Amino acid sequence: AQRVTQPEKLLSVFKGAPVELKCNYSYSGSPELFWYVQYSRQRLQLLLRHISRESIKGFTADLNKGETSFHLKKPFAQEEDSAMYYCALKSAGGTSYGKLTFGQGTILTVHP
Protein backbone atom coordinates (compact mmCIF):
# COMPACT_ATOMS: atom_id res chain seq x y z
CA ALA A 1 0.00 0.00 0.00
CA GLN A 2 1.21 3.48 -0.73
CA ARG A 3 1.92 5.85 2.08
CA VAL A 4 3.16 9.40 2.55
CA THR A 5 4.74 10.49 5.81
CA GLN A 6 5.39 14.03 6.92
CA PRO A 7 7.15 13.62 10.24
CA GLU A 8 6.75 17.21 11.45
CA LYS A 9 3.28 18.53 12.24
CA LEU A 10 4.68 21.96 13.11
CA LEU A 11 7.74 23.79 11.87
CA SER A 12 8.79 27.26 12.97
CA VAL A 13 11.59 29.32 11.48
CA PHE A 14 12.60 32.97 11.40
CA LYS A 15 12.39 35.10 8.31
CA GLY A 16 15.48 34.66 6.15
CA ALA A 17 16.34 31.26 7.58
CA PRO A 18 16.45 28.13 5.42
CA VAL A 19 13.50 25.80 5.66
CA GLU A 20 13.08 22.13 4.83
CA LEU A 21 9.78 20.28 5.06
CA LYS A 22 10.28 16.55 5.07
CA CYS A 23 8.32 14.01 3.09
CA ASN A 24 8.92 10.29 2.82
CA TYR A 25 6.89 7.87 0.78
CA SER A 26 6.38 4.19 0.14
CA TYR A 27 5.17 3.05 -3.25
CA SER A 28 5.90 -0.04 -5.29
CA GLY A 29 5.85 1.64 -8.68
CA SER A 30 7.40 4.75 -10.16
CA PRO A 31 6.09 7.62 -8.01
CA GLU A 32 4.71 10.93 -9.11
CA LEU A 33 5.00 13.38 -6.23
CA PHE A 34 3.55 16.76 -5.48
CA TRP A 35 3.62 19.47 -2.87
CA TYR A 36 0.32 21.24 -2.21
CA VAL A 37 -0.03 24.35 -0.06
CA GLN A 38 -2.99 25.81 1.76
CA TYR A 39 -2.74 29.43 2.88
CA SER A 40 -5.08 30.74 5.54
CA ARG A 41 -8.69 30.74 4.30
CA GLN A 42 -7.70 29.63 0.82
CA ARG A 43 -8.17 26.39 -1.05
CA LEU A 44 -5.59 23.70 -1.47
CA GLN A 45 -3.35 24.59 -4.38
CA LEU A 46 -0.48 22.96 -6.19
CA LEU A 47 2.93 24.30 -5.27
CA LEU A 48 5.11 22.06 -7.38
CA ARG A 49 5.40 18.59 -8.91
CA HIS A 50 8.57 16.59 -9.21
CA ILE A 51 8.31 15.89 -12.93
CA SER A 52 8.41 19.61 -13.69
CA ARG A 53 11.69 20.11 -11.81
CA GLU A 54 10.72 23.73 -11.31
CA SER A 55 11.14 26.29 -8.58
CA ILE A 56 7.96 27.98 -7.41
CA LYS A 57 8.06 30.91 -4.97
CA GLY A 58 11.67 29.95 -4.28
CA PHE A 59 10.76 26.40 -3.24
CA THR A 60 12.37 23.34 -4.76
CA ALA A 61 11.95 19.64 -4.13
CA ASP A 62 14.08 16.79 -5.39
CA LEU A 63 12.87 13.23 -5.65
CA ASN A 64 15.35 10.86 -4.03
CA LYS A 65 14.30 7.34 -4.96
CA GLY A 66 17.05 5.77 -2.89
CA GLU A 67 15.84 7.42 0.29
CA THR A 68 12.20 7.49 -0.90
CA SER A 69 12.02 11.16 -0.03
CA PHE A 70 10.69 14.35 -1.59
CA HIS A 71 11.70 17.09 0.80
CA LEU A 72 10.63 20.68 0.14
CA LYS A 73 13.31 23.33 0.55
CA LYS A 74 13.66 27.07 0.46
CA PRO A 75 16.92 28.85 1.22
CA PHE A 76 15.39 32.01 2.69
CA ALA A 77 11.93 31.76 4.25
CA GLN A 78 9.49 34.67 4.02
CA GLU A 79 6.56 35.49 6.32
CA GLU A 80 4.14 34.89 3.45
CA ASP A 81 5.32 31.27 3.29
CA SER A 82 3.42 30.56 6.51
CA ALA A 83 0.85 27.94 5.55
CA MET A 84 -0.07 24.27 5.71
CA TYR A 85 1.98 22.12 3.34
CA TYR A 86 0.96 18.69 2.11
CA CYS A 87 3.09 16.18 0.29
CA ALA A 88 1.10 13.92 -2.03
CA LEU A 89 1.75 10.87 -4.18
CA LYS A 90 -0.27 9.96 -7.24
CA SER A 91 -1.12 6.37 -8.13
CA ALA A 92 -0.12 5.42 -11.65
CA GLY A 93 -2.03 2.19 -12.15
CA GLY A 94 -4.51 -0.37 -10.98
CA THR A 95 -7.96 0.45 -9.66
CA SER A 96 -6.75 3.62 -7.97
CA TYR A 97 -5.44 5.33 -11.09
CA GLY A 98 -5.06 9.02 -10.38
CA LYS A 99 -5.62 8.72 -6.65
CA LEU A 100 -3.65 11.19 -4.55
CA THR A 101 -2.37 9.96 -1.21
CA PHE A 102 -1.63 12.83 1.12
CA GLY A 103 0.59 13.12 4.13
CA GLN A 104 -0.74 14.56 7.37
CA GLY A 105 0.58 18.00 6.54
CA THR A 106 3.12 20.35 8.11
CA ILE A 107 2.17 23.77 9.43
CA LEU A 108 4.99 26.16 8.62
CA THR A 109 5.21 29.37 10.61
CA VAL A 110 7.75 31.98 9.59
CA HIS A 111 8.38 34.54 12.33
CA PRO A 112 9.46 38.11 11.54
Partner 1 sequence: ETGVTQSPTHLIKTRGQQVTLRCSSQSGHNTVSWYQQALGQGPQFIFQYYREEENGRGNFPPRFSGLQFPNYSSELNVNALELDDSALYLCASSSWGRRAGNTDTQYFGPGTRLTVL
Query: In the complex, what is the shortest distance from the CB of residue 72 to partner 1, in angstroms, rounded to a whole number?
Result: 15
Query: In the complex, what is the shortest distance from the CB of residue 14 to partner 1, in angstroms, rounded to a whole number?
Result: 26
Asked if 90 is part of the footprint of partner 1 (rule: CB under 8 A), the reply reads yes
User: What number of residues does the chain have?
Assistant: 112
Query: In the complex, what is the shortest distance from the CB of residue 77 to partner 1, in angstroms, rounded to a whole number?
Result: 22
Asked if 29 is part of the footprint of partner 1 (rule: CB under 8 A), the reply reads no
Task: Pick from 13, 59, 71, 105 the residue near partner 1 by CB under 8 A.
Answer: 105
Query: In the complex, what is the shortest distance from the CB of residue 42 to partner 1, in angstroms, rounded to a whole number?
Result: 8
d(CA 41, CA 65): 34
Asked if 28 is part of the footprint of partner 1 (rule: CB under 8 A), the reply reads no
DSSP for the chain? --EEE---SEEEEETTS-EEE--EEE-SS--EEEEEEE-TTS--EEEEEGGGT--BTTBEE--BTTTTB--EEESS--GGG-EEEEEEEE--SGGGTT-EEE---EEEEEE-
Asked if 101 is part of the footprint of partner 1 (rule: CB under 8 A), the reply reads yes
Binding residues for partner 1, rule: CB under 8 A, are 4, 32, 34, 36, 43-46, 49, 51, 86, 88, 90-92, 95-105
